[in-house]
Amino acid sequence: MVPSIIPQNRLKQLLRQGKSAIGTMLVEVRQGSVMQVLSNAGLDFVIIDNEHGAFNIETISNLSRAARQVGVTPVVRVPEWSYAHVVQPLDAGAQAIMAPRITEPGQVKEILQMMKYPPVGRRGSVVARGHTDLKAGSVVDVMRDANEESMLIVQIETRQALEGVDQILAVPGVDAALVGPTDLSVALGIPGKMTDPLLVAAITSVIDACRRANVYPAIQMNDLTLASHWASKGMKLVSFNSEVGMLTQAATGAVSSIAAAMGR
């Protein structure tokens, strides 16, 4: 059998093996070498934030390639659900799409139609691009393998998504549901209160819904204690902080310790 020219999705492999995965958000750094640093730290995936970040498609392509080469799965959070915003990152080499601001199942079905090649969806066929490591091959094989390796992560961060989570996760093709706790806390009228019982109950309900739907539950948390807490409660994908946040925290701690030794 001829090896596929579609790179394997390491994140998908880990999850299928019953393992959990740890990642972070990339919000500012554009150099591909950041992926080597994240790999060295042991991270499994990285969310390239194109909703709130300032990345263009060329940068997304370079970052995705660098991530795959060191065994880190590149996930792109898209700014909106247009065909170009969904398909271009995939053609450039992203292995998963994260869709924000989901409110109902119809949106998820439309995104999957964009993401998947025929006969599953309506994505335009192309080879010898980032997603095939610039290799040419069988169109039929590429479409089949790309459909198998690509992932859709839907964000549960609105009141509507929370209320309709079972219907959203019932859409065939959804791989994971990621709780955006900050936006969800805002939607619930308790902005920023990460330990409020109302938010805790909402996050727990998403975990339960994922179990019912056989979908992987996920969360993004900036607080390490809370990230670890939700990991212990069943979150299979935990994204912690961002490259900027972790750099700031480490630098702040170092400056504080050295300054104290200096008597400053």
Instruction: Please report, as a single letter, which amino acid is at residue 21.
Output: A
What is the average pLDDT across 183-187? 97
The answer to whether residue 133 scores a pLDDT higher than 90 is no
The answer to whether residue 202 scores a pLDDT higher than 80 is yes
According to the model, what pLDDT value does residue 251 have? 97
Phi/psi for 189 (5° steps) reads 80, 20
The answer to whether residue 2 scores a pLDDT higher than 80 is no
Q: Is 153 helix (H, G, I), strand (E, B) or coil?
A: strand
Q: Per CATH, which fold does 10-262 belong to?
A: TIM Barrel (3.20.20)
Q: Is 23 helix (H, G, I), strand (E, B) or coil?
A: strand
What is the average pLDDT across 190-210? 98
Instruction: Please report, as a single letter, which amino acid is at residue 168.
Output: I
Q: Which residue(s) pair with 176 in the sheet? A: 153, 216
Residue 9 pLDDT level (bands cut at 50, 70, 90): very high
Q: What digits encode the pLDDT tens for the residues 100-121?
A: 999 999 999 999 999 999 999 9
Lowest mean pLDDT among 63-67, 133-137, 190-194, 223-227: 133-137
What is the average pLDDT across 124-145? 92
HSE-CB at 22 with a 13 A cutoff on CA atoms is: 15
Residue 1 pLDDT level (bands cut at 50, 70, 90): low
Domain boundaries, the chain: 10-262
Rg, Å, the chain Cα set: 19
> What pairing do the DSSP bridges indicate for beta strands 237-242 and 151-156?
unpaired
Q: Which helix (H) or strand (E) holds 64?
A: helix 57-69
Report yes or no: 103 and 180 within 8 Å, Cβ to Cβ. no
* Average pLDDT over the chain, rounded to an integer: 96
Tell me the CA distances in angstroms from 170 to 30, 43, 210, 214, one per residue in order: 36, 29, 9, 9
According to the model, what pLDDT value does residue 3 have? 83
Q: What is the pTM of this model?
A: 0.96
Q: What digits encode the pLDDT tens for the residues 17-31?
A: 999 999 999 999 999
